[in-house]
Amino acid sequence: MKISKIIILIGIMLASYGCYSLKGISIAPDIKTFYVDNFYLKTIDAPSDLDQIFSEKLRQKIRNESSLNYSDNDADISFSGYVANYRITGLAARDDASVELNQLTIDIQVDYENTKNEKDNFSKKFSFFTTFPSDSDLQNIQYQLIEDILNQITENIFNEAFTNW
């Protein structure tokens, strides 16, 4: 009985520090809304809908993993930016001058603005890659590769914005 009272007391003390935490994230209590602007393409090599796919994936990540509400007007925090790079590079050269593996890399430039606490603002490029066999038909696997890369990039952006360790 005494232990449960101590646990409850510790929980109340932690909750009173002015922020809440879900899945290791920390969001100030005065932050209630977020906005994700439509990112744009700044590279000609990417699929034409990559910017839309990324923008929606970031919106969904924040909706699903925080208690913030989406707002088009006067949001407490906002994300904007562009797809800076989409490139396929040959890796693992063979003796016949061909390659065994390819690497798809996507770079996304993100500008994060926190209207409640400007010291949290950042402008940063997030990058991730995945490899695939060079004999694969890129048209058949491209969107799965993009999905895998964007999952990691949105995770990294989310962590950068909402973890203050």
Residue 124: strand pairing partners: 110
Residue 21, pLDDT score: 40
Select from 3.30.160.150, 2.70.70.10, 3.40.50.300, 3.20.20.80 the CATH code of 29-162.
3.30.160.150
pLDDT at 59 over 90: yes
Residues 71 and 48: their CA atoms lie apart, in Å, by 26
The three-state (H, E, C) secondary structure of 41-105, written as one string: ECCCCCCCCHHHHHHHHHHHHHHHHCCCEECCCCCCEEEEEEEEEEEEEEEEECCCCCEEEEEEE
pLDDT, tens only, 10-25 = 444 444 344 444 457 7
**Which of 145, 146, 155, 160 is closest to 60 using CA atoms?**
155
- E strand or H helix at 111, and its extent? strand 99-114
- E strand or H helix at 112, and its extent? strand 99-114
Q: Are strands 33-36 and 69-70 parallel, antiparallel or unpaired?
A: parallel
**Which of 147, 161, 163 is closest to 81 using CA atoms?**
161
pLDDT, tens only, 101-147 = 899 999 999 999 999 999 999 999 999 999 999 888 988 999 999 99
Residue 132, pLDDT score: 92
* Domain locations in the chain as residue ranges: 29-162
Number of residues in the chain: 165
pLDDT at 43 over 90: yes
pLDDT at 58 over 80: yes
Residues 122 and 118: their CA atoms lie apart, in Å, by 9
Q: What is the DSSP letter of 18?
A: S
Please count the CA atoms within 13 angstroms of the CA of 84 that sit on its side-chain side: 14
